[in-house]
Structure 1
């Protein structure tokens, strides 16, 4: 434990600087993280194909009803690339 001695104004001045420094560091790290996360890359052809709603092929019955049928979608994608 640290013992701090001084007048109330001196202590407030000291602690106020610490709080400002901590908030500055936090805001700076957030800005850097945000800038780093903005780097985008081009989607692959498969990712662009999957993204398009009209290319979705779904299971019609059974346990997987409503889910994407990736096996049939991949076959259709490969056929479309020829």
Structure 2
């Protein structure tokens, strides 16, 4: 996701990824997460998006838990592409 972001959000995503990698290297985990993006909508055409995902989390031998999640995102034009400038969970 950091590759699709710019500015402070990109820096924060890289920092979070580095911290997660450090943490993961210290412990064994049997947690897994999977998901798909179901909807991306910019209802007002102003670069403020609603993103709906369907995500499934599984921890060890417990039953997988699935759900839909909503995020708010903003994007800005960077060169010939758009980059995320924010991505915040709503639910």
TM-score normalised by structure 2 residue count = 0.25
| The structure with more radius of gyration | 1
Higher helix proportion (structure 1 or 2) = 1
Higher strand proportion (structure 1 or 2) = 2
Higher relative contact order (CA 8 A, sep 6+): 2
TM-score normalised by structure 1 residue count = 0.27
